[in-house]
Amino acid sequence: MKSNSIYFRAGSATLQSIPILVLAAASVSLFLFALDFSPFAIIRAMAAGSLTSWLKFSQLLSIWVPLLLCSCGLLFTFKAGLWNIGIEGQVVMGAIAATTILRLNPTSLPPVFTIIVAMLAACVGGSLWGLLVGILKNRGGVNEIFGGLGLNFVAQGIILYLIFGPWKRAGIASMSGTDIFARDLWLPMPVGWRVAPAALVTAVCAFALTWLLLSHTRFGLRVKAVGLNPEVSRLFHINPDRYGLFAIMVGGALAGLAGGLQVTGVYHRLIPAISSGYGYLGLLVVMLANYKSLPVPLITLFFAWLAAGSIQLPIMLQIDSSLSGVIQGACVLSALLVHGLRKQRKG
Amino acid sequence: MIQLVNIYKTFGKVKALQGVNLHVRPGSIHGIIGENGAGKSTLMKILTGFIARTSGSILLDEQDVDLKTPESARKLGIGMLYQEPLDFPKLSVLDNFMAAAADTNPQRQAEIINHLSNKFGFTLDLSARQGKLTVGERQQVELMRLIRDQCRILILDEPTTGISGEQQKLLFSTLGRLRDEGKAIILVSHKLAEIHSLCDRVTILRHGKPAGEQEKPFDEEKLLQAMFATLPTKSSRPPGRTTGKPILTMEEVSTTVGRVGLDRINTTIYEGEIIGLAGLDGSGQSIFLQMAYGLLSPEQGRINLPVADNEDVMRVFLPADRLRKGLIAGLTVREHQLLAGAAPFFIHTGSGRLRTEQAIATFSIVGTPDTTTEDLSGGNQQRLLLSLIPPGARLILLEHPTRGLDLQSGQWTWQYLRSHLPDNGAIIFASPELEDIMEQADRVLVFYNGAIILDRPTDKTGYREVSRAITGRV
Amino acid sequence: MDISPGIFLAGIVASAAPLVLAALGETLTEKAGVINLSLDGAILLSAMTGFVVAARTGSPAVGFISAAGTGMLVALILVVVSIYLGQSQVAVGFALTFLCRDLAYFLGAPFARTAGPQLSIVPVPILSDLPVIGPLFFQHSLIVYTSFAAIPLLWFFMYRTPQGLILRCVGENPEGCWARGIRPRKIQTMYTLLGGALIGLSGAAFSLAIKPGWGRPQGCEGMGWIALALVIFGGWHPLRVAFGAYLFGFLQMGGILLQDVFPAIPAPIFQVAPFPLMIFTLVLVHLGRNNTGRKRLLLRLLSGDPPDALGKNYRQA
């Protein structure tokens, strides 16, 4: 039957998302009209701020990279039926792990090698932090939402301690972060770029890998089975606890990688707000994608455009940049509403 | 007092009730009997407003009444003791008694409950958590609540399941007193003993239709006949298989899981055997199968698989609730095949397709490899489950293997199971259909209140003995 | 800095007031079987509403009322999309958390760092002159008194009134309630809205009394998560939930004190530390539930079981 071809499914998914977009756009526009703002002026300003030159667009891509990585990580945990709120902490721990390696900076080794090791460390850091959430859930019966939330706060405590304690800048400790790394430990960035090509490639590969693992491997299928019905997955000789752990560790690794790339590719140092809330934003992305992989790159790009474009709003239109968050939230809520109405109509 | 006229109820395509009539008089106990799926529970839920009837009318004191919600049933004085207590286990007995009462003065309510307890001879600690009570005691609390609410019509759904003999006696004497006080009592049961000792009149339901009515004294033979329809004397059972070594043994296996749990089960299943588990739903068959599969562990006793070299591959379990307990809703037919078989690490759109297409053809599954299981019909879900049984399976556990299947599919299912069972394998299945068991099984185990009360080769017993055992008579 | 024990304790009691209100609001909601996860955003949004309305009207009272209304509105969205349209309460709560947060920053941006009214301290005559107890309990603003009153009131309501009994029943077994002629979804809606109102008051308590003013950050960020954790920590019991809120207040005030004792440790750590500490306590309580022996007994006193129907949307027949 043709109706199951990938094109057909992509087409029908697109059709299904139209009411969501219309609802979100209509409600946000109405909201803006009510506040006497012109949505069109805002879109124009946001486009001007992010799409008019490669420099601006590469700025957008620099947001897209960590957001895509976090969303990929969350795809794993959502597929396994877990609410991985701990992702913020996993990003932070990834960043800390990477910084540890980068600060060691063994001069005997080529910098490229150091960076690669640092990124691997970031994966391990995020992964272990995720593992903790999983262990708390499996062994201690602590709901992953609260375990993750707690570990986010702990990670925040650790990063502050490091920045204000052992890793403080020569002389002064401040919220601006640690000392900047040696230049050869930065991810190389061509002139006129705001995003390191290596980071871009990593993110695209990570997505490809996520999609491959989730949709085209036995592992992905088992994770999906566990997420849909843990009890029945036992009948298929799958241990749901173990696959939950696998999922959260892979998810944590991707989140950690996002943190690592922020450190070496964007800030070139460790700062307290290293995660920039991309983990939480990723939750919204995957919810809007209805927990499916394929729409994620597009949605992350859209969210990244909102985030990048809104930076211009205060300057150009005296509108607060948090408008991007409002739009993102409105999209997700519209999606939930539309899905709910569909469910209601089906009975 | 209350009269149900020509009641119909359909759930989608399923006709649960077809033209049921019932007339219950005040000061009497009216029994409703029937085997599984006869429509007893549905009828009672209609009477309590829990679900709405499709057509037919309900007359209370010759007045047409509109029972659409439990609220309206309550106002009309209709109250029900549900089989699974619908109470609040974490709240105290007194709180349970008071919940949603018209008067909620704790002192007055405590007095009422103490007064009623004394009257009926119950002993209850009002401050205890409801959940700590036995099923019988929880029932007592609920019963007193209904009496306090001036219920004129009391409905009891299998009230003696899982309660002690002592509590049963107490319950019976209470029901006797309530009858004498002029209440109309409806007793849903499958136990002939209690029908005999309690009821004044009994209505038999079969497959959603009325199948007879009797006044006291009852003719047991006729009751059984009406419940189980025609009792064929001869079965067309295929010849028994040669049996080999023990494949599963249970020694003194007990548990308290489920309403009746399991009560000291001793049995040995041999290679080559096909075992049928009979009994009313919830008498322990399902727990027995879950134990045999290893989903539950016994609280007491031992389970052995003497010939097991690889426990994972050896056993397979096909639960009754196929969509929620046996298959994974949201995954496709092909994905199920991949999960069940030895899938390669990388899966592409072609992986498992051949196997799936073969399964679809062999098992005549109406669907494509990419149909998700929730979109399959019940029969096709069962055929998919059958197709997932690994070739090496030696202990096949099935719950209601032919439920929802038409006659042909049912026969086909059995043919398949028989022809694919290795000589050193065994099948254990639970079925609500006595015909199924008598026709397919080599040996029947009848469950009653969590215990095996009859264990016979099917050629050494008959419908009569088994159906009597199901109703508690051995 | 030299702080007398009296002022220190009074500081705890006052600073915990919004947390008490939010956690009690969530307790009420969860007791009815509904998780309102939007707390962190809802508090911020109502803090903004409360501040802006109070600044515009000059009346903190109107500010508080509008904040309560905001909290109810957020709760209403949750009710409609989850309870009535069957979407996951967790998912809707999350989406609302972030939507409300950014909505608060967006709508409040023009009012950031502007002057606004603030609740004044209203000492209770005579009682406030008592030694120790006076400054501790009787020299506060009205919202702090409200938080005091809310604790026993809510306890009384939940455990000593017929409506409270029905509330608990719905959270435990909606089907059992339906069989008794109660409409579970109506009850759930009612208490989710009422809980939302308390959460809204909590927001205004921040912006009009405890951390007066509006800005980004306001200072109440993260408090919603703590309030959610407190409900679990307090075992869904209003008295223990409130106790947890004061414990958190103690950790926060303690942090400020210790900051002076250990100048070597950077200040932000003391600001963040109460959060992980609080969550750790929660985790300990949770772990205690699965342990056996004496430790378990002790921890059992601290913990309770969640309502059985918590987070499950009840589908009425």
pLDDT over threshold 50, residue C1: no
**Using the beta-carbon criterion (under 8 Å), do B99 and C165 form an inter-chain contact?**
yes
Q: Is residue B286 part of a domain?
A: yes
Chain C residue whose CA is closest to B68: C317
Question: Token pair for residue B189?
Answer: 């049961």
Rounded Cα distance between A224 and A234, Å, is 13
Say how many Å lie between the first and final Cα of chain B, rounded. Answer: 37
Q: Where are the domains of chain C?
A: 5-220
pLDDT over threshold 70, residue C184: yes
Question: Token pair for residue A346?
Answer: 């089906």
Higher pLDDT, C278 or A234: A234
Q: Is residue B234 part of a domain?
A: no
**Are the CB atoms for B306 and B247 separated by under 8 Å?**
yes
**Using the beta-carbon criterion (under 8 Å), do B324 and A217 form an inter-chain contact?**
no
pLDDT over threshold 90, residue B220: no
Q: Is residue B302 part of a domain?
A: yes
Chains that touch B (3 or more CB pairs under 8 A): A, C
Rounded Cα distance between B338 and B336, Å, is 5
Summarize chain C as % helix, strand, coil (round to 5): 75, 0, 25
Average pLDDT over residues C102-130: 89
Rounded Cα distance between B397 and B428, Å, is 5
**Using the beta-carbon criterion (under 8 Å), do A83 and C90 form an inter-chain contact?**
yes
Same domain, B178 and B82: yes
Question: Token pair for residue A5?
Answer: 């071809």
pLDDT over threshold 70, residue B229: no
Nearest to A287 by CA among A123, A98, A71: A71
Average pLDDT over residues A326-335: 95
Residue ranges of E strands in chain C: 121-123, 139-141
DSSP state of B274: E
Size of interface B-C (CB pairs under 8 A): 59
pLDDT over threshold 60, residue B231: no
**Are the CB atoms for A86 and A152 separated by under 8 Å?**
yes
Distance from CA of B96 to the nearest CA of A (A): 29
> Which uninterrupted H or E stretch holds A25?
helix A6-34
Same domain, B124 and B260: no
Those residues whose C-beta lies under 8 Å from the C-beta of residue B187, and which sit 6 or more positions away, are B29, B30, B31, B32, B156, B159, B175, B194, B195, B198, B199
Chain B residue whose CA is closest to C178: B70
Distance from CA of A147 to the nearest CA of C (A): 7
Per-residue pLDDT band for B309 (boundaries 50, 70, 90) equals: low
Rounded Cα distance between C272 and A160, Å, is 9
Question: Token pair for residue B387?
Answer: 């197709």
pLDDT at B69: 86
Give contacts of A216 with chain B, Cβ < 8 Å: 346-348
A36: left (phi over 0), alpha (psi -120 to 50) or beta: left
In chain B, how many domains are there? 2
**Are the CB atoms for B210 and B17 separated by under 8 Å?**
no
Per-residue pLDDT band for C154 (boundaries 50, 70, 90) equals: very high
Please confirm whether the linkage preceding C217 is cis (ω < 30° from 0).
yes
Mean pLDDT, chain A, as a whole number?
90
Chain B residue whose CA is closest to C172: B88
Q: Calculate helix-pair angle for A218-228, A197-216, nearest 10 degrees.
A: 70
Chain B residue whose CA is closest to A212: B346
Distance from CA of C127 to the nearest CA of A (A): 40
Q: Is C166 on the interface with B (CB under 8 A)?
A: yes
pLDDT tens per residue, range C280-293: 676 676 666 554 44
Q: Is C176 on the interface with B (CB under 8 A)?
A: yes
Per-residue pLDDT band for A3 (boundaries 50, 70, 90) equals: very low
A-interface mutation test, from C39, C87, C89, most A Cβ less than 10 A away: C87
Rounded Cα distance between A192 and C222, Å, is 38
Give contacts of B51 with chain C, Cβ < 8 Å: 317
Q: Is A346 on the interface with B (CB under 8 A)?
A: no
* Burial (CB count <10 Å: 0-12, 13-18, 19+), residue A139: exposed
Nearest to B100 by CA among C308, C83, C186: C186
- What sign does the dihedral C69-C74-C77-C81 (CA atoms) show? negative
Those residues whose C-beta lies under 8 Å from the C-beta of residue A26, and which sit 6 or more positions away, are none
Portion 234-293 of C in contact with A at CB < 8 A: 265-266, 268-269, 272-273, 275-276, 279-280, 282-283, 286-287, 289-290
Average pLDDT over residues B336-345: 86
Residue A133 — φ and ψ, nearest 5°? -60, -45
Give contacts of A219 with chain B, Cβ < 8 Å: 345
Same domain, B260 and B173: no
Give contacts of A154 with chain C, Cβ < 8 Å: 276, 279-280
Distance from CA of B112 to the nearest CA of C (A): 17
Rounded Cα distance between A151 and C271, Å, is 16
**Using the beta-carbon criterion (under 8 Å), do B328 and A225 form an inter-chain contact?**
yes
Same domain, B166 and B83: yes
Give contacts of C229 with chain A, Cβ < 8 Å: 146, 149-150
Q: Is residue B239 part of a domain?
A: no
pLDDT at B238: 64
pLDDT over threshold 70, residue C12: yes
- Predicted TM-score (pTM) of the model is 0.89
Q: Is residue B310 part of a domain?
A: yes
Rounded Cα distance between A131 and A252, Å, is 8
Summarize chain A as % helix, strand, coil (round to 5): 75, 0, 25
ipTM attached to this prediction: 0.89
**Are the CB atoms for C89 and C37 separated by under 8 Å?**
yes
Rounded Cα distance between C278 and C251, Å, is 8
Q: Is residue B371 part of a domain?
A: yes
> Which uninterrupted H or E stretch holds B17?
strand B14-24
Same domain, B223 and B251: no
pLDDT at A90: 97
pLDDT at C171: 95
Average pLDDT over residues B304-316: 73
Give contacts of B321 with chain A, Cβ < 8 Å: none
Chain B residue whose CA is closest to C305: B90
Give contacts of B101 with chain C, Cβ < 8 Å: 162
pLDDT tens per residue, range A126-150: 999 999 999 988 887 778 887 888 8
**Using the beta-carbon criterion (under 8 Å), do C105 and A284 form an inter-chain contact?**
no
**Using the beta-carbon criterion (under 8 Å), do A221 and B312 form an inter-chain contact?**
no
Write out the residues of chain B at the interface with chain C, using a CB-CB cutoff of 8 A: 48, 50-51, 69-71, 73-75, 80, 82, 86-91, 95, 98-101, 104
Task: Return the CATH number at B22.
Answer: 3.40.50.300
DSSP state of B395: E
Average pLDDT over residues C251-278: 75
Rounded Cα distance between A262 and A65, Å, is 9
Higher pLDDT, B64 or C26: C26
Rounded Cα distance between A218 and A301, Å, is 29
Q: Is A234 on the interface with B (CB under 8 A)?
A: yes
Mean pLDDT comparison of A170-179, A296-305, B182-191, C227-236, highest-scoring range: A296-305
Residue with tokens 């009539």: B21
Q: How many CB atoms lie within 10 A of CB C163?
A: 13
Same domain, B168 and B24: yes
**Using the beta-carbon criterion (under 8 Å), do B326 and A232 form an inter-chain contact?**
yes
**Are the CB atoms for B62 and B74 separated by under 8 Å?**
no
Q: Is A221 on the interface with B (CB under 8 A)?
A: yes
Q: Is residue B413 part of a domain?
A: yes
**Using the beta-carbon criterion (under 8 Å), do A221 and B339 form an inter-chain contact?**
yes
**Using the beta-carbon criterion (under 8 Å), do C106 and A323 form an inter-chain contact?**
yes
**Using the beta-carbon criterion (under 8 Å), do C173 and B104 form an inter-chain contact?**
no
* Count, residues in chain B: 474
Average pLDDT over residues A29-43: 90
Same domain, B214 and B270: no
Per-residue pLDDT band for C222 (boundaries 50, 70, 90) equals: confident
Q: How many CB atoms lie within 10 A of CB A31?
A: 18
Question: Token pair for residue B55?
Answer: 């057509």
Mean pLDDT comparison of A290-304, B52-66, B436-450, highest-scoring range: A290-304
Mean pLDDT, chain B, as a whole number?
87
Q: Which long-range contacts (CB under 8 A, 24 or more apart) does A318-322 make?
A: A319/A37, A319/A42, A319/C109, A320/C105, A320/C106, A320/C109, A322/C102, A322/C103, A322/C105, A322/C106, A322/C109, A322/C216
Rounded Cα distance between C208 and C200, Å, is 12
Same domain, B252 and B224: no
Distance from CA of B473 to the nearest CA of C (A): 34
**Using the beta-carbon criterion (under 8 Å), do C276 and A141 form an inter-chain contact?**
no
Q: How many CB atoms lie within 10 A of CB C36?
A: 29
Q: Is A217 on the interface with B (CB under 8 A)?
A: yes
Per-residue pLDDT band for A82 (boundaries 50, 70, 90) equals: very high
- What sign does the dihedral A75-A81-A85-A86 (CA atoms) show? negative
Assign A274 to helix, strand or coil: coil
Q: Is residue B237 part of a domain?
A: no
Give contacts of A142 with chain C, Cβ < 8 Å: 282-283, 286-287
Size of interface A-B (CB pairs under 8 A): 54
**Using the beta-carbon criterion (under 8 Å), do C169 and B99 form an inter-chain contact?**
yes
Higher pLDDT, C29 or C125: C29
Q: Is B295 on the interface with A (CB under 8 A)?
A: yes
Q: Residue B431: give the domain boundaries.
A: 246-470
Same domain, B262 and B223: no
The mean-pLDDT minimum among A268-282, B214-228, C273-287 falls in: C273-287
Give contacts of C99 with chain A, Cβ < 8 Å: 325-326, 328-330, 332-333
pLDDT over threshold 80, residue A62: yes
**Using the beta-carbon criterion (under 8 Å), do A326 and C232 form an inter-chain contact?**
no
Average pLDDT over residues C237-252: 90
Give contacts of B339 with chain A, Cβ < 8 Å: 221-222, 225, 236, 238
> Which uninterrupted H or E stretch holds B278?
strand B274-278
Assign A276 to helix, strand or coil: coil
**Using the beta-carbon criterion (under 8 Å), do A221 and B335 form an inter-chain contact?**
yes
Rounded Cα distance between C45 and B294, Å, is 52
Residue with tokens 């099923």: B135
pLDDT over threshold 50, residue C298: no
Average pLDDT over residues B347-361: 86
The mean-pLDDT minimum among B33-42, B130-139, B433-442 falls in: B33-42
Question: Token pair for residue B343?
Answer: 């899938």
Distance from CA of A165 to the nearest CA of C (A): 7
Q: Is A208 on the interface with B (CB under 8 A)?
A: no
Average pLDDT over residues B388-398: 88
Percent of chain B past pLDDT 70, that is, above it, reads 95
Nearest to C40 by CA among C14, C69, C18, C64: C18
Q: How many CB atoms lie within 10 A of CB C37?
A: 27
Q: Is A219 on the interface with B (CB under 8 A)?
A: yes
Portion 180-209 of C in contact with B at CB < 8 A: 180-183
Same domain, B146 and B74: yes
Nearest to A250 by CA among A89, A117, A80, A115: A80
Same domain, B189 and B276: no
